[in-house]
Amino acid sequence: MINKIPNYVKNVKGVSRGLNNFVMERRLINELRKRKNHKIKLLEIGCGRGILLLELRKKFSNLDLYGINLNRYHGIKEKKDFIRNAEENKIFLDNKEKSNLPKINFWDVGKKIPYKENFFDLIISNVSFVHVKNKAKALEETSRILKVGGVALISFDAHETKKNLGNKFYNLYKELDKKMKKDYMPRFLIKKEKEFVGTKEFFREVKKEGFDISVRNTDYKDKSQKVRGVQIILKKKREGKLDLRLRYNKSKSEKITKEARGKNPACYGAIDFYELN
């Protein structure tokens, strides 16, 4: 069976985001500078055409770079495609840089990320998690493969109000807005018994287990939409397995994703529905 290629892939810009498109660029550069005297293993989840990784290759010689895409149609089929993509984006690699290109793998991070534990110093992801089915599992796997002392910077979700959709909101989100204001993630819905759980409350409980996960919001708007981006910063301070205690309801997730398609505030991507254990 041939997978249908998503619209965001057909638009080259959708899979060609570089450093200046990464909302946590400044934090990433600071983390890299802190480690400038050490060899750094860095992974980008959802690297697209590899533009961000290639820009990092030019800026920092001490990086061992890795990238994951779900499918080969996301912009890289094999390692040599990095060179073509670099040339098309005017990233001029010398021979040494060409011999040290990022390592690319094709995996579904919502199921498993098959690297060994404590492998990466830094993990980043730029607007790819919105498409991941079972983001909780992906977050747990991110923690597992992160070294103690490592940091993950993830653009996790977003409330997007597209003007061309007007007041076309999925009914569930109308109810959540009344009850919880904006203290929820539209693609990461958590329910405990009969009530939905707010983002702040949920991650406050995670922190009590000794895992340093913080959530921040970044608001911006343009002529076509108003966006409240949600970023997750995970700092691994100790050994141990991150268990979010969330049961992924696959059938309900797929049902809500289908019904909410083309409606604010999550008109694309994968909506996850979880039950909190």
Residue 123: inside a domain: yes
What is residue 215's DSSP assignment?
Answer: E
In a domain, residue 174? The reply is no
Q: Looking at residue 133, which CATH number applies to its domain?
A: 3.40.50.150
Dihedral of CA atoms 32, 37, 38, 39 in degrees, nearest 10, equals 80
In this predicted model, what pLDDT tens digit does every residue of 227-244 receive, in sequence order? 999 999 999 999 999 999
Residue 9 pLDDT > 60? no
- Stated pTM of the model: 0.92
Q: Does 180 reside within a domain? A: no
Buried b / exposed e over 142-166, threshold 16 CB at 10 Å, is bbbbbeeebbbbbbbbbbbbbeeee
- pLDDT computed for residue 2 by the predictor: 46
Residue 59 lies in a domain: yes
Q: How far apart are CA 186 and CA 184, in angstroms?
A: 6
Give mean pLDDT, residues 14-36: 89
Q: Does residue 269 form part of some domain?
A: no
Does the pLDDT value for residue 134 go beyond 80?
yes
Judge whether 256 lies within some domain. no
Say if strands 120-125 and 146-162 run parallel, antiparallel, or are unpaired: parallel
Domain membership of residue 254 (yes or no) is no
Q: Could you tell me if residue 258 is inside a domain?
A: no
CA 75, 79, 84, 89 dihedral sign is: positive
- pLDDT tens for 51-94 read 999 999 999 999 999 999 998 877 888 888 999 999 999 999 99
How many structural domains is the chain composed of? 1
Residue 1: pLDDT over 50: no
Structure tokens at 70: 């779900």
Structure confidence by residue, pLDDT tens digits, 189-223 = 999 999 999 998 999 999 888 889 999 999 887 78
Domain range for 122 is 7-163+198-243
